[in-house]
Amino acid sequence: MTRLELTRLVRTRSDGPLPGDKCPVPTCSGKIGVDKVLPPRGGWVIRYLCCNVCRHRPENHKWVAADESNVPTT
């Protein structure tokens, strides 16, 4: 399994909203975005999500993905 395939397995919309999705708060018109990114560790990048308007954090607001910055291109 490649790192890209593993990244796609880590988080889906069924796990919670992704960046660009509408905020789940009914009265808010904002979108979910990346609030904070931790430096890559052990081949993984951790991003924390929140709404760009009301600062609401979804219940599952941690997005873990493979670090693709050092994957060789073919």
73 part of a folded domain: no
Give me the number of domains the chain comprises. Answer: 1
| Residue with the larger pLDDT of the pair 15 and 53 | 53
Determine the Cα–Cα distance for residues 46 and 35; give it in Å rounded to an integer. 11
Give pLDDT, residue 3.
Answer: 54
71 part of a folded domain: no
How many contiguous H segments (helices) and E segments (strands) does the chain have? Answer: 1, 3
With 70 as the cut, is the pLDDT of residue 2 above it? no
8 part of a folded domain: yes
72 part of a folded domain: no
pLDDT in tens, 4-44: 555 455 677 777 788 899 999 999 999 999 999 988 888 88
Reported as a pLDDT band with limits 50, 70 and 90, residue 49 is very high
Single pTM value for the model? 0.71
17 part of a folded domain: yes
74 part of a folded domain: no
32 part of a folded domain: yes
Domain range enclosing 20 = 3-66
In this structure, which amino acid lies at residue 38? L
